[in-house]
Amino acid sequence: MKRGPAAVEFHRVVKRYGDVTAVDDVSFTIAPGELVTLLGPSGCGKTTTLRLIAGLEMATTGSISIGGLDVTRRSAAERNVSMVFQSYALFPHMSVVENVAYGPSVQGVRKARAREMAMEKIALVGLEGLEQRAPSELSGGQQQRVAVARALVLEPEVLLFDEPLSNLDAKLRRRVREEIRELQLSLGLTVAYVTHDQEEALAVSDRIIVMSNARVAQIGAPRELYEAPVSCFVADFVGAANLIPAEVDKADGELASVRIGPCHLKLAHRGIGPGKAYVAIRPYRVSIGPPCCGNGELEGHVSKVAYVGDHLEYGVRISVPAVELIAIVPEPMQAFAKGAKVAVKINPTSAVLVPADQA
Amino acid sequence: MNRTPRVLAATGLLAYIALPWYTIENPSLTSYPFGDEGTALGLAIMGTWWLLPLALPLLLCLCIALRNRPDESCAEWLAVLGFVGFAYLLAQGFAVGLHGWNAEWLNALFGAPGPKQQGMGFGALVVGVALLFLGCRGLAGMGWCRGDTFIVSSIGAVGMLLALFVFYPVATILTSAFTDDKGQMAIAPFVEKITDSSIWGLKCLGNGVACGVAWNTIVLAVLTAFASTTLGLAFALIALRTKFRFKAPLRVMTVLPIITPPFVIGLALILMFGRSGAVSGILFRTFGVVPTRWIYGLTGIFIAQVLAFAPIAFLVLVGVVQGLSPALEEAAQTLRAKRLTIFRTVTWPLLRPGLASAFLLCLIESMADFGNPLVLGGNFEVLSTKIFFAVVGAATDQSRAAALSIVLLLLTLIGFAVQQLWLGKKSFTTLSGKGDPGLLMPLPTSIRLACYAVAVPWLVFTFAVYAIIFIGSFVKAVGRDYTPTLASYEIAFRVEHTSFGWFFSGSAWPSFFATVEIALLAAPLTAAIGLLTAYLLTRPDFHGRRALDFAAMLSFAIPGTVVGVSYILAFNVPPIEITGGALILVVCFVFRNMPVGMRAGTAALAQIDKSLDEASLTLGARSLTTFARVVLPLLRPALTASLIYAFVRAMTAVSAVIFLVSAQYNMATTYIIGRVDAGEYGVAIAYSAALIVLMLVVILLIESLVGERRLGRRPAMSNVAAAPT
């Protein structure tokens, strides 16, 4: 039963509940030893995808393989996969050590040996001394560690996390996600990790699968998603983005000439043909200043100003094209009041062309 | 694919070859394996050709299982072979009867009379179970229910049991009502029977002739339900909204109806108000009131039923009154409404759905009640007693019993449907589990006094009723001779020391031991099936879940007398011939009482996060292990509740079992009814008192062991009534 971390492969997997399609034609591969995040808004099918890996849901069509073995029709108990649940799902009638030893003991491992295995993992997550406690006597963070230890104890081929941080407070979240990442790297685990928090996803993942409306929107490394989103949805979901309607005139080599209102620029065309498109700019890359030269600038006025401590957040209403931009400016040399006329300059290195179809 | 299919197929085949196929009256092995005690194979060789095809699916399944390749098409074959084989097993059982073909069209097709056979026996049982589970294993292999064999097999098994022991008997009653003496389909006689003037007649409105029995039932039920609900509400308000000092007796009152055999109250009323009753005697001596038979009839049954069912209404309404958020009344208070105004405009409207629910519950209980009308009815007949006399009376008429059963069934089902569908959604009470802040408002003075005026005399009356049973069992004859004596107990429970050892020579012992034996057999089975069904209804997602739920609840809504009649009609003849023994009594109890375990289980499971099961599954525990090690330990309170309930109900039930008892298996309740019939009141009440005390001890013992506090006669219904589903 014991094998190293294994690859997970989804091939055209569809999951339907009656008329509702929860997962629609999803294909991807998770390489052994890789941490892949399933990211998306609630209801996008990411948790269903995770449960399909676990065998807690059965695919309607398509195939799933783990470690090269087709497991599409195998029940959860027959797959070498463990899961850390959002609610942790610790058995309330068992102590910490009984919880962790549950896996081996139901596999028929002798009691003493199962306990030994459990103690080893309890030590790994740093909970020695608490093994006789009931789950209800532990703090949220400790319960989470028990859940991780319990999932690790069988040394599964794949470890699944279903929003493991959602029940922790903000400060703890940061620390625990770093611990999970360290654990994954040091043990070389294959991990699938569900979250709706893009920051969390960017911080821990080797690769991210962004899902939207039951489909895969984009798969890629964090930097890829952030800097080269393939759709407006991804651009906006993975770190907020300003989406400005634009017109692609013609593609010329790597670059395309793009028109945004009165302003013309050259951007990498990334396979987008002539026609309508969007230009995505991250809020903190929007540079605003007093209107000066008129060329290559978008004119507008400040519609909102918010002081957020270490930076200012401006809302800028552009007149042509009619759009409202968010600009995040580190404590500026020059502050603008609400209603002030400003110009937005678009730097080609900080803007990305995004296709229009999914706006 | 693991070993399961191989084991199943091999077991089935072995049973086919080696186990006697039919039921055997007196095992002797003289005709084994080719004669009456023959195995399927032996009989098939000797000419019972219709058993031959059964070998085919078993053999094929074994071949597939032995090839043992994890292949989806294998699973499909198993599913097809298993279910086709099982269907064939049932089909041949129903087609070939005791006297030839069971259906006219078979006679026409193959010629009368056709082959004959007896009821299925042990061999058929094992083969059937093997085929059913093979089919389920196949479906699991195809990915049904997340590929979980345990779940698919459980669904298969529970579904099959419900079909066999709930739907099939009801279907038998329907067909039996639709057919005439010659077995022909007959609509006109059926309509005639159903609309008979003895059922629906309204002559009593004009002159003195008795009304139709259906009207009797309805009038009695409405009166009882109205009175019981009123009393129940008064008790509930007193218990929760006043500083009444005698709340303990109220609590005791909620336990009494569970442990009291249904007719005992009727019996007590006779002892008080009968012609030689205790109260009648006092009235005669002091006021010269000549004792009459007024207690026999509508008045008597009404009083007895209200005594029995007011506590049930109380249980439902306590939940409802508790569920009212005090914040609502406080809100009204801050809007400067007076206390009486608040009661009228806020509290009362919020209580109304709960009241309607309690009303319907008592209505159903009253219509289904059999013990009290039997003891107190006199010339006043209701449907349940009429059914009984149509089966056991001088003029046995099964089709008439069937027609009456259908009328009663329809009446209770209508009440049940209204309660489930309409009120289930209408309830305003919320049991969120969060403590609602705020103080409960005391009742307005006028309402409080009204509650006391209704409740206190009734409480006293209730205790008088129970007192007379206990006092009566220790005197010579209630109403005439109050010399203390243990004679009644001696007749019933005498134990003699003879040269052969202790000898239980009391007349009650045989029925007592039989009852305890049956109750002990039925209780664990009832709890097991009830909790398993609850698990199936809350956890896996599968098609037909609603149907399963409906079937399980249906078995609860069917009045006991109807169950009794339908079981006689369905299980007195092959293919499933189980009347006249302990088995049919156990089966009857299991399927009548399992919905309570089921409801308790569903309520408890709703509190247990699904991810606990899933965590166990991903840790490699199969569903069976998960059920045993995670779910069951968390269900302990529900398990205890259903065990107690199943045991107590099996000890006290009378309506269904009175049709099903045999000389060997006479139940305590039917024995007592027999004593009442014979006028031996002393023995009857001594036995009743002993049963009540025994059950009280059992409940207190289990409660003190597990710490379960409350248990309703129909806790399921009170749950339904209190929480929107």
Q: What ipTM, to 2 d.p.?
A: 0.77
Q: Which residues pair with A345 in a beta bridge?
A: A287, A297
Distance CA A164, CA A149 (A): 13
pLDDT of residue B712: 32
Rg of the Cα atoms in chain B: 28
Please identify among residues 122-161 of chain B the ones whose CB lies closer than 8 Å to any CB of chain A: 140-143, 146-148
d(CA A352, CA B404): 81
Q: Do A56 and B142 touch (CB under 8 A)?
A: no
Q: Are strands A158-162 and A191-195 parallel, antiparallel or unpaired?
A: parallel
Residue A208 to residue A218: CA distance in whole angstroms: 8
Residue reference for tokens 């401590």: A309
Q: Regarding predicted confidence, which is higher, B345 or B424?
A: B345
Question: CA of B86, closest CA in chain A: separation in Å?
Answer: 25
Please list, residue by residue across B284-317, b when 16 or more beta carbons sit within 10 angstroms of its beta carbon and e when fewer do. beeeeeebeeebbbbebbbbbbbbbbbbbbbbbb
Mutate: best of B612, B618, B630, partner A, most A CBs <10 A: B618
Residues B14-22: what's their mean pLDDT? 87
Whole-number Å distance between alpha carbons of B184 and B178: 8
Structure tokens at B597: 């375990």
* Sequence-ordered list of residues with C-beta below 8 angstroms from that of B72, at least 6 positions apart, any chain: A73, B141, B142
What one-character-per-residue DSSP string does A90-133 give? --TTS-HHHHHHHHHHHTT--HHHHHHHHHHHHHHTT-TT-TTS
**B375 and B270 in contact (C-beta within 8 Å)?**
yes
Q: Which residues of chain B are within 8 Å of residue A107 when distances are taken between CB atoms?
A: 620
3-state secondary structure of A75: coil
- Rounded CA-CA distance B94/B575 in Å is 6
Assign B678 to helix, strand or coil: coil
Instruction: Give the closest of A73, A90, A154 to B147, CB-based.
Output: A73
pLDDT (mean) for B537-562: 81
Nearest chain B Cα distance for residue A248, angstroms: 49
DSSP conformation class of A297: E
Please state, rounded to an integer, the average pLDDT across all residues of chain B. 81
Whether the per-residue pLDDT at B226 is higher than 90: the answer is: yes
Terminal Cα-to-Cα distance of chain B (whole angstroms): 40
Task: Report the C-alpha gap between B519 and B564 in whole angstroms.
Answer: 17
Quick check: B431 pLDDT over 50?
no
- Residues in B closer than 8 angstroms to A100, CB to CB, are none
**Of A219-223, B3-7, B207-211, B346-350, the least confident:** B207-211
- Min distance A118 CA to chain B CA atoms (Å): 13
Strands (E) located in B495-538: 495-498, 501-504
User: How confident is the model over B489-513, as pLDDT tens digits?
Assistant: 888 888 887 777 777 888 888 899 9
- Looking up tokens 């005709």, which residue turns up? B31
CATH topology of domain B503-722: MetI-like fold (1.10.3720)
Inform me whether the C-beta atom of residue B1 falls under 8 Å from chain A C-beta atoms. Answer: no
- Residue A195 pairs in a beta bridge with A39
Residues of chain A neighbouring B617 (CB-CB closer than 8 A): 55-56, 75-77
Cα angle B617-B622-B624, degrees, rounded to a multiple of 5: 120
Query: A53-71, pLDDT tens digit by residue?
Result: 998 888 999 999 999 889 8
Helices (H), chain A: 46-54, 96-106, 111-124, 140-152, 170-187, 198-204, 222-227, 232-237
For residue B84, report the phi and psi dihedrals to the nearest 5 degrees.
-65, -45
Chain B hits for A79, Cβ within 8 Å: 618
**Which backbone phi and psi does A83 adopt, to 5 degrees?**
-135, 140
Inter-chain touch A83–B614, beta carbons under 8 Å: yes
Q: Is the pLDDT of residue B720 over 50?
A: no
**Is the pLDDT reported for residue B66 higher than 70?**
yes
Report pLDDT for B146.
75
Residue of B nearest to A149 (CA): B619
Please name every residue paired with B484 in a beta bridge, in sequence order, or none if there are none. Answer: B475
Residues paired with A316 in a beta bridge: A302, A325
How many whole angstroms separate alpha carbon A10 and alpha carbon A262? Answer: 46
Q: Is the pLDDT reported for residue B182 higher than 80?
A: no
CA-to-CA distance for B178 and B47, rounded, in angstroms? Answer: 35
Dump pLDDT digits (tens) for B271-317. Answer: 888 887 888 888 888 888 877 888 888 889 999 999 888 888 888 88
> Cβ of B511: how many Cβ atoms within 10 Å?
21
pLDDT of residue B335: 79
Contact A82 B623 (CB under 8 A): no
Q: What is the pLDDT of residue B208?
A: 59
Distance from CA of B515 to the nearest CA of A (A): 36
Q: Do the chains contact at A56 and B618, CB–CB below 8 Å?
A: yes
Residues of B in contact with A86 (CB under 8 A): 611
Residue A36 scores a pLDDT above 90: yes
Give the chain B residue nearest A55 (alpha carbons): B146
Q: Mean pLDDT, to the nearest integer, of B184-197?
A: 74
Q: Which residue has the higher pLDDT, B205 or B78?
A: B78
Check CB contact of B611 with chain A, cutoff 8 Å: yes
- Residue B206's pLDDT band (cuts 50, 70, 90): low
Provide mean pLDDT across the span B521-549: 86
Token code pair at residue B503 = 């000898």
Q: Which domains does chain A have, with CATH numbers?
A: 8-227 (3.40.50.300), 243-355 (2.40.50.100)
| Local structure of A300: helix, strand or coil | strand
Query: What is the model's pLDDT at position B98?
Result: 77
- Give Rg (Cα) of chain A: 25
Token pair for B122: 């042990």
Task: Identify the CA nearest to A80 among candidates B143, B623, B618, B148.
Answer: B618
Is residue B356's pLDDT more than 60? Answer: yes
Q: How does residue A195 score in pLDDT terms, banded at 50, 70 and 90? A: very high
Give A-chain residues touching B622 at CB under 8 angstroms: 75, 77
Say yes or no to pLDDT of A2 above 60: no
Q: pLDDT at residue B572 above 70? A: yes
| Nearest Cα residue in chain A from B635 | A93
Judged against a pLDDT cut of 70, whether residue B147 lies above it is answered with: yes
Q: Which of A17-26, A226-235, A328-337, B486-495 has the lowest mean pLDDT?
A: A328-337
CB of B648 closer than 8 Å to CB of B259: yes
Share of chain A above pLDDT 70, in %: 96
Q: Tokens in use for B631?
A: 């779910």
pLDDT for B136 beyond 50: yes
pLDDT confidence bin for B105, thresholds 50/70/90: confident
The ranges assigned to domains in chain B are 4-142, 503-722
Averaged pLDDT, B183-193: 72
Cα B714 to chain center, whole Å?
10
Residue B708 scores a pLDDT above 60: no
Residue B176 banded pLDDT, cuts 50, 70, 90: confident
Interface test with B, best of A17, A75, A136 (most B CBs within 10 A): A75
